[in-house]
């Protein structure tokens, strides 16, 4: 069969790539051995006829682990390639890691093997019917009974019912719940407890436990995961089921405080740090589909500066229109910046965890603040970007077969779970205000990503700062880019500090200021991570062409982000009108420079077609043929006359008599 024009177009675009694609695949996924192993794991999922739905998927996943002797990390990769949140997802991503992170050595030794062999299945239960983000006001209580040496777990009202808990509706035998710890009437706040939910003999709920599924979710998302509820009625569990790596309660009922009040946030830091890289890969999928489809989609024979000399009589490729480039290319740059920040976040979390195990809490506050801010900023970018990719693809993007709708409906809840994206910004803002206080008393103790607040102490000098750009190419200097991000975040933290000190000011009235500051700080972290990542790649001796394209992506991310927030820079005259003009010009220059590389940039993500699940974004570019084939497989197209013809269609056609044509 002759090649379609779409196949030819994608192949031609791929051939223009200026850098070795494998270099960036290594940058994203690691060594050649890891890349090969990842491909093998993807093939296990795509070629397995028994990977089906929900519970069946969960069972088959564990069978594959045993059949192929997969490590825990490899099994998690397989879970990613299944591309559904499974009933066991939180068991693997939260229940087991939190046992290790917050359980004592003895507890980890007892509980973790049971969980890793899935002899018990767990979930993480924090959210309640009446409370989610407000951990201090959770209504579930754990009251110590000294006589029996037990905790009495109780839902004090029906709104204390745990709600939205993944895995709880059907499969979980245990839940790691957050409940307010009470001894002799004194409330010590929320702590973690391992709570048996269903019998290991017959899976029936224990007396005092009412558990079930909360029902279908919005947009058809999370269809394979059993989000559930549980309500407790004076339900006893052993005292030893309280996670006791940090806070402890003795047999005598003595509460031993943790070394830091925020240590309980460690589990949230873990989940949020994973979500940063997850945001990058989610947006990467959407950008891959949109890039490939707009490369093969041709509409209107309107000349652009990107001449298609080999096909002068054909319509223009959609990706060659500057308006499409200005929407799509910055999203690809965002992916690479978030990947860089995700690597940084992972490193910071692992370092913090190692320190916590030794009783060192010095890095906890910064890691918690950065993870909160990045979770909010990155998941917002990704969810918005996935929908923008659908719009870029035009009408066909709305088809389920584009792969975008399923991706979006599954991902968009990330803006709410593990901390509402608007509410989370207050945590980062509070932390930065504390850093301002530290800067005034002991500047050496200001944490690494907050050093810019030191400059705000001398307000006269700070307010006199101006962007040093003189020429268009000055915008490509990393020190100028980062100085701009630092100035913006520094001014906003200063403004918030002044507002917070006003007599009669209520903190909740500053929500919008917190939101602006948090995103300014998070964008600085993203930009700085991208800049540092380029420097690291350069130092590792990577091909010059690869370093060049990464540098362009870093530049485009920084400048596009600055442009989107120009109002903040113009408020205090940090950027001049002429600099605004040169900024826009440099962004256009970068988009033009990247145009030949975007197909290679998305190929580097190394997503198999099975995982993309997109008729329009397949690697061969044969979009129209794949879309046609997908429609032909629909059940409704397997018959010439549909069910309901006689019952409904005939009466409609003959309501006023049969037509005589």
Residues with catalytic roles: 418
Cβ partners under 8 Å of residue 10, min gap 6:
292, 295, 296, 599, 620, 621
The whole-angstrom separation of Cα 14 and Cα 292 is: 10
Residue 609: other Cβ atoms inside 10 A: 16
Do 151 and 242 form a contact (C-beta atoms < 8 A)? yes
The whole-angstrom separation of Cα 210 and Cα 168 is: 11
DSSP state of 564: H
- Output the CA torsion sign for 112, 116, 122, 124: positive
Record the tokens describing residue 194, joined without a space: 């391992």
> Three-class SS of residue 144?
strand
CA 232 to chain centre: 32
Report in angstroms the alpha-carbon separations of 180 from 147, 152, 153, 155, 161.
Answer: 20, 11, 9, 11, 13
Q: Helices (DSSP H) in 297-424: which residue ranges?
A: 322-357, 364-392, 404-411
Cβ partners under 8 Å of residue 249, min gap 6:
144, 181, 183, 239, 242, 255, 256
> Three-class SS of residue 174?
strand
The whole-angstrom separation of Cα 214 and Cα 420 is: 20
Q: Which of 378, 339, 408, 613 is nearest to 518 (CA)?
A: 378
HEC string of 199-237 equals CCCCCCECCCEEEEECCCCHHHCCCCCCCEEEEECCEEE
- If you compute the radius of gyration of the chain from its CA atoms, what whole number of angstroms results? 27
Strands (E) in 127-201, as ranges, are 140-145, 150-155, 162-165, 174-183, 186-196
The whole-angstrom separation of Cα 21 and Cα 604 is: 5
Question: Which residue ranges are tagged as binding site for FAD?
Answer: 127, 166
DSSP β-ladder status, 228-232 and 209-213? antiparallel
In which element (H, E) is residue 553 found? helix 544-564
The whole-angstrom separation of Cα 409 and Cα 403 is: 11
> Three-class SS of residue 542?
coil
Do 213 and 205 form a contact (C-beta atoms < 8 A)? no
DSSP β-ladder status, 255-256 and 248-249? antiparallel
The whole-angstrom separation of Cα 161 and Cα 336 is: 40
Record the tokens describing residue 291, joined without a space: 């890039």
Residue 416 burial class via C-beta count within 10 angstroms: exposed 0-12, middle 13-18, buried 19 and up: middle
Q: Does residue 613 come out as left (phi exceeding 0), alpha (psi in the -120 to 50 range) or beta?
A: left
The whole-angstrom separation of Cα 636 and Cα 638 is: 6
Task: Please list the residues that pair with 322 across neighbouring strands.
Answer: none
The whole-angstrom separation of Cα 185 and Cα 180 is: 11
Residue 572 burial class via C-beta count within 10 angstroms: exposed 0-12, middle 13-18, buried 19 and up: middle
């Amino acid at each position: 069969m002759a090649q379609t024009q779409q196949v030819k177009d994608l192949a031609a675009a791929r051939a223009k790539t200026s850098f070795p694609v494998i270099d960036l695949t290594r940058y994203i996924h690691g060594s050649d051995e890891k890349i090969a192993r990842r491909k093998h794991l993807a093939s296990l999922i795509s070629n397995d006829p028994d990977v089906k739905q929900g519970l069946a998927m969960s069972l088959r996943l564990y069978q594959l682990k045993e059949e192929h002797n997969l490590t825990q990390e490899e099994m998690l990769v397989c879970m990613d390639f299944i591309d559904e949140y499974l009933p066991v997802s939180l068991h693997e991503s939260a229940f087991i890691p939190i046992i290790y992170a917050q359980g004592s050595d003895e507890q980890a030794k007892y509980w973790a093997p049971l969980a890793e062999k899935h002899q018990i299945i767990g979930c993480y239960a924090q959210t309640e019917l009446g409370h989610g983000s407000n951990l201090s006001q959770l209504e579930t209580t754990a009251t110590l009974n000294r006589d029996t040496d037990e905790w009495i777990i109780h839902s004090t009202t029906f709104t204390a019912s745990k709600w939205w808990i993944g895995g709880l509706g059907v499969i979980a035998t245990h839940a790691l719940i957050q409940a307010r710890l009470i001894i002799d009437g004194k409330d010590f706040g929320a702590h973690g407890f391992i709570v048996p939910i269903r019998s290991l003999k017959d899976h029936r709920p224990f007396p005092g436990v009412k558990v079930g599924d909360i029902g279908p979710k919005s947009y058809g998302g999370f269809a394979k995961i059993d989000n559930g509820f549980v309500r407790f009625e004076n339900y006893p569990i052993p005292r030893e089921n309280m996670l006791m790596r940090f806070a402890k309660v003795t047999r005598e009922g003595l509460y031993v405080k943790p070394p830091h009040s925020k240590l309980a946030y460690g589990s949230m830091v873990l989940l949020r740090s994973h979500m940063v890289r997850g945001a990058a890969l989610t947006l990467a999928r959407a950008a891959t589909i949109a890039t490939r489809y707009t490369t093969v989609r041709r509409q209107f024979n309107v000349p652009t500066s990107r001449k298609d000399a080999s096909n002068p009589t054909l319509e223009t490729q959609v990706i060659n229109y500057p308006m499409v480039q200005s929407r799509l290319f910055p999203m690809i740059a965002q992916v690479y910046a978030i990947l860089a920040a995700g690597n940084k976040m992972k490193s910071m979390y692992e370092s913090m965890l190692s320190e916590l195990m030794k009783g060192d809490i010095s890095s906890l506050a910064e890691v918690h603040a950065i993870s909160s801010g990045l979770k909010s900023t990155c998941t917002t970018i990704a969810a918005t970007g996935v929908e923008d990719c659908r719009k870029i693809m035009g009408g066909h993007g709305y088809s389920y077969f584009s792969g975008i709708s399923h991706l979006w409906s599954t991902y968009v809840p990330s803006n709410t779970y593990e901390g509402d994206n608007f509410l989370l910004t207050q945590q980062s803002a509070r932390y930065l205000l504390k850093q301002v206080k530290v800067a005034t008393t002991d500047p050496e103790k200001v944490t690494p990503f907050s050093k810019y607040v030191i400059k705000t102490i001398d307000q006269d000098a700070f307010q006199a700062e101006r962007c040093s750009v003189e020429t268009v190419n000055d915008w490509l200097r990393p020190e100028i880019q980062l100085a701009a991000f630092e100035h913006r975040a520094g001014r906003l933290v200063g403004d918030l500090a002044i507002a917070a000190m006003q007599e009669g000011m209520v903190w909740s009235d500053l929500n919008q200021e917190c939101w602006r500051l948090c995103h300014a700080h998070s964008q600085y972290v993203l930009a700085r991570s991208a800049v540092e990542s380029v420097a690291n790649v350069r130092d590792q001796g990577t091909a010059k062409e690869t370093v060049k394209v990464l540098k362009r992506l870093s530049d485009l991310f920084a400048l596009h982000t600055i442009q989107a927030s120009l109002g903040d820079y113009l408020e205090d005259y940090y950027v001049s009108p002429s600099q605004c003009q040169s900024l826009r010009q440099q962004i256009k220059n970068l988009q033009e420079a990247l145009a030949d590389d975007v197909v290679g940039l998305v190929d580097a993500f190394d997503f198999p077609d099975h995982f993309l699940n997109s008729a329009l974004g397949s690697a061969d570019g044969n979009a129209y043929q794949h879309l046609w084939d997908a429609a032909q497989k629909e059940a409704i197209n397997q018959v010439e006359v549909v069910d309901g013809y006689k019952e409904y269609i005939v009466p409609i056609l003959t309501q006023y008599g049969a037509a005589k044509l």
